[in-house]
Every structure is written in structure tokens, then in C-alpha cells.
Amino acid sequence: MNKVDELLEGMGITRKDLRYTFRWKGRKYYIPTFNPLWWLVTIVAIVGACILMYAMVVMLILIVPKL
């Protein structure tokens, strides 16, 4: 067993629990954990969340003084 698998097992999860599963055109697909595509999806999701949070803060700063 891999060290990563041992660490995950110590937390009570497996690689199967972390993989991205999605449906497209009626079929079920998944991206295996620690695949380069998995990292790309994770990074894009984190950057997207940061951009949305930044946009909300900027909107609040611009809107609140007008109230």
C-alpha cells in the first residue's frame, strides 16, 4: 500500500471517496484521485471560489456607502 493510501486510511477515507464523479449526456464519469486532471479541476475550483469571494467583497465596498 502507498503512503498516501495509508494516510487516507488513517482518516477513514479512500481514494474512491475523493474522486470527482459527474454525469454527462446520461453517462456517469469520474476523475481518479491524484490524476493530473484531478489537480487541474481542484485548482480551477479554488481559484474560481477566490475570484467570486473577491468580487462579492468589492461589490459590498461599492454598494454599502450608497445605502
Question: What pLDDT, on a 0 to 100 scale, did the predictor assign at position 65?
Answer: 82
Whole-angstrom distance, CA of residue 59 vs CA of residue 66: 11
Residues 6+ apart with CB under 8 A from 42: none
3-state SS class at 11: coil
H or E element that contains 66:
none
Query: pTM, whole model, 2 decimals?
Result: 0.60
Per-domain residue ranges for the chain?
1-34, 35-67
Q: Are 15 and 5 in contact (CB under 8 A)?
A: yes
What does the pLDDT look like over 2-56, one tens digit per residue? 888 888 888 888 888 888 888 989 999 988 888 888 889 889 999 999 999 999 9
pLDDT in tens, 48-65: 999 999 999 999 999 988
